[in-house]
Copies of this chain bind each other. A is one copy, B any other.
Amino acid sequence: MTFQVYDTTLRDGAQREGISYSVVDKLAVARLLDEFGVGFIEGGWPGAMPKDTEFFRRARTELDLRHALLVAFGATRKAGLAVADDPQVRALLDAETPAVCLVAKSDIRHVERALRTTGAENLAMVTDTVAHFVAEGRRVFLDCEHFFDGYRYDPAYTTAVTSAALDAGAEIVVMCDTNGGMLPSQVTTAIGALTERLGVAPDRLGIHCQNDTSCAVANTVAAVEAGVRHFQGTANGYGERPGNADLFAVVGNLQLKLGLPVLPDGCLEQMVRVSHAIAEIANIAPETHQAYVGAAAFAHKAGLHASAIKVDPVLYNHIDPSVVGNDMRILVTEMAGRASIELKSRELGLDLADHPDAASRVTKRVKDLEAGGWSFEAADASFELLVRSELPGAGTPRPFALESYRVLVEHREDGAVVSEATVKLRVRGERIIATAEGNGPVNALDEALRVALSRHYPELRGFELADYKVRILEGSHGTGAITRVLVETADANGGRDWTTVGVHENVVEASWHALVDALTYGLARTPKV
């Protein structure tokens, strides 16, 4: 019994207001989803969104997925147009993915009122487009929009759309609860009625739920219990309105509550790490109270049963938190536990298990820093620098010592906006003063730092600031807020990008920390020129 864990974080999940991924972000999210072991990653809508076209182009050379297949999303051909002449269909083929997912109308009211065509033409659109992609050697999934409402209003028509797709060679027809209004018992009943009417087994159907009744996870689980094998969701439930089914909770429930092997071995414990890293990339604070992955998901308020919990945690937790990479917390504090710090260090090739004192020091420093607003979840390079600084003989050399810096931003009378930075450093015994301009205060500071270091460290010319993210952490009424900055650096000479973090009430100083970590880390791992 094989399940299709189908992720649409990068397509439907990106509909959540406020999310705006860069192409580099999308590549990073895809890598994380693959590490979580999903079977399919719907990467976007090529043709409709230029960024998505670019994503699929770069994915061909830059993504090396172990578990997942990439899927490009698109629509059935336009009404009245031959499928081969539809530029949107062409763009979808040009994405060169092994599978495509086509969205189709399956509610006759939407066909007539929104698409403004006939039921018969919509069926032909489904047949033609599915057959076209099958003939081109693609696996085809068909997303039926407003499936359940359509089926309730006119079961014969919605069934006809489903049959048309299956007859034309679609691998799976996905029942989409597009407006999210379903309850689990209704999903169960609808699938029973549909499969009887269709005369096919439920394993030819897929499920895609929105969370407008707060039941998206339960609806997805109900569909799988009814025999569906293909289920769609998004990381952390991101999506339009109340969001999509949270893939982490769905997978946790199927694997741990129903005992269904939906992920490859070794992937389940990546859940918390992947969830938090995607949140950082999406620039959304991880939800503390999220099921399975939230920092408070296994946090028990001390009091009533604290000592009993300590003795018998299995009596109080619905699962062992470590199987999804989470920790039990008795006292409510900000923090990652020692176990996850050791796990993460091991991933970076640093074994803390053999150095219990260093592990304690790292754990304490991480706890203290996290209490001050730092977060290492998406900043592996800063985390590695921290771990190395505590591991005997593993420290990273500091390339320079700062004396002072100054940054100036002016909006002049003629309307020009200019930024200028001056840094004063000591490098290998030499005092260096350098000034540079930039298109903003942080860019100017970065440029001045590079000018100052370039003679001693020519190899840093290959480092590029690939992404820069800012998050304002909660303060009281604007004052006293803390700024967290993530800097992603790319190496023009190849190798993976690395991410560093800085935290300060002043955005420039926070950026300075992250920039210095970025250069320190990059210089340590780059061969000298």
Binding site for B on A (CB under 8 A): 15-18, 20, 22-24, 107, 109-110, 113-114, 146, 179-181, 183-186, 211-215, 217-219, 221-222, 225, 240-243, 246, 249, 252-253, 257-258, 283, 288-292, 294, 296-301, 305, 308, 311-312, 315-319, 331-333, 375, 377-378, 402-413, 417, 419, 439-443, 464-474, 477-481, 483, 490, 504-509, 512
Contact = CB atoms under 8 A, between A and B. Distances in A.
Contacts of A506: 409, 417, 419, 439-441
B113 A311 contact: yes
A242 B291 contact: yes
Contacts of A179: 316-318
B472 A467 contact: yes
A439 B289 contact: no
Nearest to A405: B411
A253 B403 contact: no
Contacts of A311: 113
B404 A410 contact: yes
A440 B419 CA distance: 15
Nearest to A19: B471
B465 A477 contact: yes
B477 A464 contact: yes
Nearest to A250: B214
A291 B377 contact: no
Given A23-B474, A477-B466, A410 B406 contact: yes
Pairs A-B, 10 closest by C-beta atoms: A181-B318, A218-B218, A465-B478, A22-B474, A470-B470, A114-B308, A214-B249, A214-B291, A440-B506, A214-B217
Given A184-B218, A215-B253, A443-B479, 11 more contacts: A15-B301, A185-B221, A186-B257, A212-B291, A215-B221, A217-B218, A241-B296, A404-B412, A409-B441, A417-B506, A419-B508
Given A212-B318, A318-B212, A439-B479, A290 B242 contact: yes
A272 to B, nearest CB: 14
B478 A464 contact: yes
B480 A185 contact: no
B318 A213 contact: yes
Contacts of A296: 17, 241-242
A312 B113 contact: yes
24 contacts: A22-B473, A109-B312, A110-B315, A180-B318, A181-B257, A184-B184, A184-B221, A185-B222, A185-B225, A186-B257, A213-B249, A217-B218, A218-B218, A241-B297, A242-B290, A242-B294, A243-B289, A407-B408, A409-B508, A409-B509, A439-B480, A443-B481, A465-B477, A477-B490
